Amino acid sequence: MVSFAFATELALKAMNDRPAHGHDLSRLFTALPEATQQTLADEYMQVRGGYLPDDLASCRNIFIELRYYHEKSGYAAPFGKLRFLAKFLIEAGDKAVRDRPDREFFSLEEHFPGGLKLPGPNVSRHD
C-alpha cells in the first residue's frame, strides 16, 4: 500500500510543469496547472463517477500514515480508493509525460555505457 501511495504522489509530481514538494496529495493536485486539474477531474468523473479532489483529500497524507504505520496503534486507510487513484494517476501521468514536447528522455545505457557500478554483496556502501 505504501507503494500505491508513493506512486500516486510521483504521478502528480510528474504532471506538474514546476517542481512540487511534499507528500500531501491534495496540495500536489492543486499545484498542477488549472487546465490539468480540470482535465483530470473530468476524466476521473467519467471513469470513477467520483470527484477527484475529494478522493485525493481522503487520502491526502496516506503515504506518511502508512510509512509510519508501525508507530501507530491503528490506521484505517481507504485501500480500494488508493489503488484506483494510483492506477488512474499513473496512467494519466505517463500520458502527460510522453505528450510533453519539452521532455528529453535518456537511456541509462546512453549515459552509463558500461552499466551502473553498484556495490556487490561483499562491498561496503561506504567504500
User: Where in the chain are the domains?
Assistant: 2-111
Under DSSP, is residue 68 helix (H, G, I), strand (E, B) or coil? coil
CB-CB contact of 32 with 12 (8 Å): yes
Under the banding of pLDDT at 50, 70 and 90, the label for residue 2 is: confident
Residue type at position 24: D
Distance separating alpha carbons of residues 60 and 57, to the nearest angstrom: 5
pLDDT (tens digit, 9 = 90+) per residue, 3-24?
888 889 988 988 887 888 888 9
Residue type at position 57: A
Query: What average pLDDT is seen over the chain?
Result: 77
pLDDT (tens digit, 9 = 90+) per residue, 53-79?
999 998 888 777 776 665 666 656 677
CB-CB contact of 91 with 15 (8 Å): no
What is the value of pTM for the model shown? Answer: 0.69
- Tally Cβ neighbours within 10 Å of residue 55: 21
